[in-house]
Structure 1
Amino acid sequence: MTSCSTDAATTRDVSRPARLHAHSAVSTALAMRSDHALRELVDAATPIGVGIGGKSALLEVAGTPVFVKRVPLTDLERQPEHVRSTANLFDLPLFSHYGVGLIGGAGFGAWRELAVHIMTTNWVLAAEHEGFPLMYHWRVLPDTTPLPVELADIDRAVAYWDGRPQVRHRIEAVRDSSASIALFLEYIPQTLHEWLNDRIEAGGEATDRACAMVERELAVGTAFMNSRGLLHLDAHFWNILTDGRRLYFGDYGLSLSSAFDLSPQEAAFFDQNQSYDRGFTATYLVNWLLTALYGVKGRETRAAMARAIAEGKPPEDIPGGAAAVLTRHAPVAAAMSAFTRPFQEVSRSTPYPDEEIRRLLDGHGSVLAQPSDGPEADGLGTSHDERVESTQRTETQQLAGERETLTGVLEFHRDTLARRCSGLTADQLRLRAAEPSELSLLGLVRHLTDVELGWFGRVLSGADTPFAYWQADVPDGTDFDVDAADADESLRLWHSACARSREIVEACESLDTFGVYGPDGDRFSVRWILTHMVQEYARHNGHADLIRERIDGQTGV
């Protein structure tokens, strides 16, 4: 185990098997170390930086680069009755959750951050969602951490956060802490800010592809977290990592989970901020693009330009895909700016306009899915609507290359099926609305899950990937047997299968790469499989059109 340079870690295998192998090897190696040995290892690691959430370093374990984040653990949190507690131990004001203050907040405690890392790592290990850095290990170690620059003047920080004594107590406790929780995390070298900046500088098609990926991944990631009862609340582009294929949401110092030990006030705050992550990430993307593409600087100038676009002024002289992203999300950005400016400059008690943001996200067909308060909500207060994850279709580029065209059209059709399913209850998804056909929207989702798993997860990857519904002893499978089917789980499995299919295609060097199927060893190229999948989705989306119209009269979704 040694320190590690960032250069040595920039090229790595991020496929699921490689991530799982690294997790097994690294977590085992770290678990074998005593506290003393682990402290020596961490102290010898290559420092990366010190921020408001703690200090970080890079080391190598079992041949794998490991990112170490040390989160200050206060004496209050170390008291026996508070160990592993996810309660708001410092009774911090709830507006401290918003990561948009002009002075950063001191976080809600190391145990909460650890709990979210455990939660997100388990989601990755269970193949529920890949978009989080894995945590290999954690340990409480002796440590001292100086206050970050923006909190060093404690009086100034407390005054900014409405003079609350609880804020002073928290900052002073962090200053005086004598231990930290060392989080040993998967190292993903690039932040979204850094990577997207490179793609913008490349210009043209590279910019449009990057914008489409980021828009889609922000939608999928925030929708997944929210559907599992987690609000990130600080998902800016320095807190999101990427390998260029997907986004990884990290840094959970301000996060709030419905599974935490919440007070009634915190539970109400959770309910009143269900649209925050989706609204915040859409706004951040708009502001980021305005700065990168137009050189717009200053909050007021950006807000004015977002308002102009929201009111119908088309973005000019930038790639078409980026212009479409700005047009879609400018209304939300304008409304969010009307909240953040007074929050930052007038009062931290400025109320978040959840109802307005929800309405705008829904009314403008945003890529960010909407929550539902309907009767199908599960124990976390969420419904299948949140798990649709994407209601805006990927726009295909008319002059793109063959690979980009095929994958783009397939994404368009996947998004189309998601739109057909959005806004419906579980019972409506199960409804066989086009008699005498047995087809239902949920049945189509389940059927296409196994189509994805078959062509990509088995034929193209060469793996013995199990089907979700097709069984050797049931000739017709169980995909269309939806009477007792769990709509949430079915949608989750479909999204997971689509994500895995993208990974497999992206790993193929060319469209001529092929997979083998059947007793005669028939070969099927990536080109053929993508074309076939477009045909498959196009046919079933036609069915979905008719079913949706019969359910609620909606057409042209």
Structure 2
Amino acid sequence: MDSLPHRLKTYSNIATELSFLSNQQLSDLLDQAEPFHTGVGGTSVLLRLNRVLSKLAYADEVQGASEHRPQNVYGIPEESSTEATKQFAAEVEFRKNSNETLLFVKRIPLTDLERIPENIMSTANLFDLPLYYQYGIGSKGFSAWRELAAHQMASNWVIAGKCPHFPLLYGWRILPHCKRRSISETLSKEQAKKLEPVFKVAEADEGQGADGAQKLSVQKLLDASSTGATKPFAASVEFEGRFLKSELEYWENHPKVCNRLEAIQNASADLILFLEYIPHNLHQWLGKQLTSKEYELEQSLSMMDENIATITEFMSKQKFIHGDLHFKNILTDGTRLYFTDFGLALSSKFELTAEEIEFFNKHHNYDQANAAIGFLDSTFSNLFGKELWSTSIQEYFSSKKITLAPALESRIKRHTPVALAMDQFYQKLMKESRSTPYPTALLEELIGKR
């Protein structure tokens, strides 16, 4: 990544360019942007922006192009990537020579309640949500304004020279809400033709009522995917099939959560964040490092350890909790880490209730604990596959049939007690009660022993 002075110069240039664009011009640019990901907290795209920039700024992007796997609008990796990867590398090189740069742009639904004049920029718990909704087990966050405030704080820490480990926020806007494209819009003509009978049947089923039709439509699409008609899109079909009723049941039909989810679904505006683009998430990058030579692996893991410790300690001193610190929310350029995605962040500077202040104080070690379970999750998922990571961990500790590099083994041994305690907490939280108490004292003891 560039040096801090160069990052700040880039920040100044891009922030200025964005400030000169009207809402309509920005909307037009976003319509042409490359879909990147659709997740619980919003959608994101990669935006190309013309500007005068040294060619050296793109060295990391060219180096990382070989790892890029194109994704559809749902964030699902497409099949076959050899040609696509080459094309992406060529496009990056073209952008380098044509003085274009990439911006990561996130769209967050901005609800009508958040747009009431007295609520604009408010970091209060506007929906009066239960505090278990603060956990990263499917929550869509407390408000767009909290996420914006967190990004502003993090960006200002970089600008002030306090901590370079966050992406810069170049600017933000409020634009009309952009509905996520349907599955049929993401299919090729050939794939759409194969699915045409399925969509027709799904439309004919509407007489069964909204819930029945949606369930049946999703099931028919999934059945079609199992025959190969939509194999690359099975996951995206399942994602589209998640409807509000099942989501409310997951959150135990809490009326305040219902209000929040319905408000998001009916949002007429989006909060748009324009962020510094960093090429890899830590999960992807770690997967590549796990296949490297022992001394290279040790160097990579040492950088990761030192950076995570430095950043979590810094945030703790700032009385700031990230709240969702898995390895896909940590970015890297290969030389340092960057924490991002603050949809569940908490800060002592927010307008907190007495109950929230108590929650905040009890969770002072939450980020450290999540980093531990994130390490085990990413390590075993990368080595043995996402579906087998839990089984692989059990096999590793019970039979020792799995042999790993010494650099890995020492860190697994170090982080496992904390990770297991967190896993047990999450299992109880999801399967037994949303009111499961956070094990502050136990985690404090385990973290202290590492």
The two structures share one fold, judged by TM-score above 0.5 = yes
Q: How does 1:285-296 map to 2 (within 5 A)?
A: 285-293=375-383
* Structure-1 residue corresponding to 2:327: 237
Deviation at 1:14, TM superposition (A): 2.1
- Asked if residue 209 in structure 1 is aligned to residue 295 in structure 2, the reply is no
The structure whose residues are more often helix, as a share, is: 2
* Structure-1 residue corresponding to 2:158: 124
Q: Which stretches in structure 2 are left out of the alignment for 5+ residues? A: 52-99, 182-235
Q: Deviations over 1:454-493 (max 9, x none)?
A: xxxxxxxxxxxxxxxxxxxxxxxxxxxxxxxxxxxxxxxx
Looking at structure 2, the residues matched to 305 and 145 of structure 1 have their Cα atoms a distance apart, in angstroms, of 44
* Structure-2 residue corresponding to 1:43: 31
- Asked if residue 345 in structure 1 is aligned to residue 418 in structure 2, the reply is no
Looking at structure 2, the residues matched to 68 and 296 of structure 1 have their Cα atoms a distance apart, in angstroms, of 27
Deviation at 1:151, TM superposition (A): 8.6
Asked which structure has the greater RCO (Cα within 8 Å, sep 6+), the reply is: 2
Looking at structure 2, the residues matched to 55 and 334 of structure 1 have their Cα atoms a distance apart, in angstroms, of 31
Deviation at 1:211, TM superposition (A): 1.8
Kept after mapping to 1: 8 A contact 2:395/2:402: no
* Structure-2 residue corresponding to 1:328: 414
Kept after mapping to 2: 8 A contact 1:151/1:157: no
Q: How does 1:277-316 map to 2 (within 5 A)?
A: 277-293=367-383, 297-298=387-388, 301=391, 304=394, 308=397
What root-mean-square deviation, in Å, do the aligned CA atoms of Structure 1 and Structure 2 show? 2.2
The letter of the residue matching 2:286 is L
Looking at structure 1, the residues matched to 36 and 385 of structure 2 have their Cα atoms a distance apart, in angstroms, of 29
Looking at structure 2, the residues matched to 346 and 298 of structure 1 have their Cα atoms a distance apart, in angstroms, of 24
User: Secondary structure in 2 aligned to 1:185?
Assistant: strand
Aligned mate of 2:314, from 224, 229, 238: 224
The alignment's TM-score, normalised by the length of structure 2, stands at 0.72
- Asked if residue 15 in structure 1 is aligned to residue 3 in structure 2, the reply is yes
* Structure-2 residue corresponding to 1:458: none
Deviation at 1:59, TM superposition (A): 1.7
Deviation at 1:289, TM superposition (A): 2.0
Q: How does 1:74-113 map to 2 (within 5 A)?
A: 74-99=111-136, 101=137, 104-113=138-147
Kept after mapping to 2: 8 A contact 1:283/1:332: yes
* Structure-2 residue corresponding to 1:355: 441
Looking at structure 1, the residues matched to 41 and 305 of structure 2 have their Cα atoms a distance apart, in angstroms, of 27
Aligned mate of 1:165, from 240, 252, 255: 255
The letter of the residue matching 1:143 is H
Q: Deviations over 1:317-348 (max 9, x none)?
A: 22211111111111111211221111122222
Q: Deviations over 1:149-205 (max 9, x none)?
A: 379421211111122011111111111111111101000121111111111123433
Aligned mate of 1:31, from 14, 19, 30: 19
Shift in CA distance, 223/150, structure 1 to aligned 2, threshold 3 Å: farther
The letter of the residue matching 2:280 is Q
Deviation at 1:43, TM superposition (A): 2.2
Q: How does 1:417-428 map to 2 (within 5 A)?
A: none
- Asked if residue 65 in structure 1 is aligned to residue 98 in structure 2, the reply is no
Kept after mapping to 2: 8 A contact 1:26/1:64: no
* Structure-1 residue corresponding to 2:347: 257
The letter of the residue matching 2:353 is S
Q: Deviations over 1:348-393 (max 9, x none)?
A: 21111011001111123xxxxxxxxxxxxxxxxxxxxxxxxxxxxx
Q: Deviations over 1:47-80 (max 9, x none)?
A: 2222211111122232331111111100000000
Kept after mapping to 1: 8 A contact 2:144/2:271: yes
Q: Which stretches in structure 1 are left out of the alignment for 5+ residues? A: 1-12, 365-557
The alignment's TM-score, normalised by the length of structure 1, stands at 0.59
User: Secondary structure in 2 aligned to 1:202?
Assistant: coil
